[in-house]
Amino acid sequence: MLPSTFLRRLPEAVRPHLPPAAETLHMQPRGHLLKIWYGADGSIHYEVWVHERTQQLELGLHCEAEPARNERIRRQLGFYLFDIKAALGNAVELEVWDRGWARLYETHPLYPLDEPRLNELAGRIGLFIRTVQPIYAEIRQALAAGK
């Protein structure tokens, strides 16, 4: 299937793999990416991004708020990186990125974009979010408390 079709179908496939949450779940397919976030602030979100030029599919937590906030979150995620890699594998990377952003991410080959891959990736997205979201929630709470 086309990358745009694949991304439009992902929300329905991912939803059963996500943990229940107290905050509202948002899923927004747009162009070559799908954003997933909880609560009102979508500047920190999970993203599935199709990189057609490099034939990669990226899955990650993107911190696209103001640079100082992104950096605080990135530093705190660094303290958990060993645990995150233990749960998700060593392909997960944490880095400073474009425009003062930060991301915790992994890449996968883009193709095939078929039904089995849709289900496989939906499960992986669910695992990624179930692993990272409790950590991010703890970081967010600590930062809100001024820690």
What is the residue-level pLDDT of the chain in tens, covering all 147 positions?
899 999 999 999 999 999 887 789 999 998 899 999 998 889 999 999 999 999 999 999 999 999 999 999 999 999 999 999 999 999 999 999 888 999 999 999 999 999 999 999 999 999 999 999 999 999 998 888 876
Tokens 């003062």, located at residue: 100
Q: CA 25 to CA 2: how far, in whole Å?
A: 25
CA distance 108 to 133: 21
CA distance 123 to 41: 24
Structure token pair of residue 109: 């080959």
pLDDT of residue 69: 93
48, exposed or middle or buried, with CB in 10 Å at 0-12, 13-18, 19+?
buried
Under 8 Å CB-to-CB from 132, ≥6 apart: which residues? Answer: 46, 61, 84, 104
The reported pLDDT for the residue numbered 147 is: 64
Angle separating helix axes 115-144 and 67-88, nearest 10 degrees: 130
Task: Sheet with 44-51: list strands edge to edge.
Answer: 25-30, 33-38, 44-51, 56-63, 101-109, 93-97
CATH number corresponding to 3-144: 3.30.1460.10
